[in-house]
């Protein structure tokens, strides 16, 4: 294994172990707060804990068994590294993450009486479900056009979330605004990354494949291929294009997932401001 590849894979494994510990500690502390929370707030916290667990475990699995889907490239020679296993785990984990954001947005939208944000909260999971469908299409057929559509939908969902925060801001409690601001900044950064780096990367790969006359698989043959074929590579040259997004995805995104557990416990404090208070805040 190349030294750079080993260092990166060690980082992913270390972060996944750290994430599991942080989730466990967070869950333990939140359970001790249960008695002090209203039933509605505690229900939200429990859902956030369950969904976050799904995301943490999914990202942990994908950190230990990295997969470069379209190329069928893996780090570890195991059935756990097969593309169909990795994509299945990713689908469940990403839907859990999307559901976390949808539930959080819904709770805040109701507390701040934002109908626009409330409507967006009901569309987040369906949009990501469609994105996952495009992802499966890309993985099974090896056409990166599916990833272009998938990542575009993720970026659009994040953009709608950021716009929702702007609608929520006016009637939000002062204690909520630091989180709204921080989430908005991260959301804008994510959208910019998707539009300027991620989507163009997949688009360029698709254009290159088209120029080379690549023959794509049909769905049936794709299922067989993803279940039985994987190519082990430890070369840094083969992995370096995936390093940035995987590193951020399996670290920062997981921390955000765990953070949503704690944010849910604070919703009891987020009461809407009266019109006069909103004007003075």
Quick: pLDDT tens for 216-273: 999 999 999 988 889 999 999 999 988 988 999 999 999 999 999 988 887 755 554 4
pTM across the whole model: 0.89
Look at residues 260, 265, 245, 253 and name the one whose alpha carbon lies nearest to residue 58. 253
The topology under which CATH files domain 3-280 is Rhopdopsin 7-helix transmembrane proteins (1.20.1070)
Q: DSSP secondary-structure letter at 241?
A: G
H/E stretch holding 277 reads helix 275-280
Which pLDDT score is estimated for 268? Answer: 59
For residues 97 and 257, give the distance between their C-alpha atoms in angstroms, rounded to a whole number. 7
* Tens of pLDDT, residues 75-115: 999 999 899 999 999 999 999 999 999 999 998 888 888 89
pLDDT at 69 over 60: yes
Which pLDDT score is estimated for 170? Answer: 81
Look at residues 250, 257, 247, 258 and name the one whose alpha carbon lies nearest to residue 22. 258
Which pLDDT score is estimated for 273? Answer: 44
Which pLDDT score is estimated for 274? Answer: 42
Which pLDDT score is estimated for 14? Answer: 96
- Name which residue leads in pLDDT, 268 or 35: 35
In the chain, what are the domain boundaries?
A: 3-280
Helix-helix angle 39-64:3-32, to 10 degrees: 160
Scored b (16 or more CB within 10 A) or e, 202-211 reads: bbebbeebee
Look at residues 154, 184, 125 and name the one whose alpha carbon lies nearest to residue 249. 154
pLDDT at 188 over 90: yes
């Amino acid at each position: 294994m190349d030294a750079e590849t080993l260092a990166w894979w060690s980082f992913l494994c270390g972060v996944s172990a750290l994430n599991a510990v942080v989730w466990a500690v967070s869950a333990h502390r939140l359970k001790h707060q249960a008695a002090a929370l209203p039933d509605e707030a505690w229900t939200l916290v429990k859902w956030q804990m369950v969904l976050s667990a799904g995301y943490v475990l999914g990202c942990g699995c994908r950190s230990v068994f990295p997969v470069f889907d379209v190329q069928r490239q893996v780090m570890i020679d195991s059935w756990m590294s097969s593309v169909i296993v990795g994509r299945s785990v990713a689908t469940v984990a990403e839907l859990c993450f999307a559901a976390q954001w949808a539930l959080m947005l819904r709770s805040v939208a109701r507390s701040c009486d934002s109908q626009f944000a409330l409507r967006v909260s009901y569309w987040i999971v369906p949009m990501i479900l469609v994105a996952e469908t495009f992802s499966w299409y890309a993985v099974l057929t090896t056409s990166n056009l599916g990833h272009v559509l998938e990542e575009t939908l993720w970026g659009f969902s994040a953009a709608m979330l950021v716009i929702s925060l702007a609608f929520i801001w006016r009637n939000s409690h002062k204690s909520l605004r630091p989180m709204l601001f921080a989430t908005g900044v991260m959301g804008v950064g994510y959208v910019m990354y998707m539009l300027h780096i991620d989507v163009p990367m997949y688009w360029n790969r698709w254009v290159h494949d088209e120029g080379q006359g690549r023959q794509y698989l049909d769905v049936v043959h794709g299922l067989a291929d993803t279940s039985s074929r994987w190519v082990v590579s430890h070369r840094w040259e083969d992995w370096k294009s995936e390093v940035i997004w995987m590193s951020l995805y399996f670290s920062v995104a997981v921390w955000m997932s765990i953070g949503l557990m704690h944010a849910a416990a604070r919703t009891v404090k987020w009461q809407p401001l009266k019109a006069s208070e909103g004007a003075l805040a």
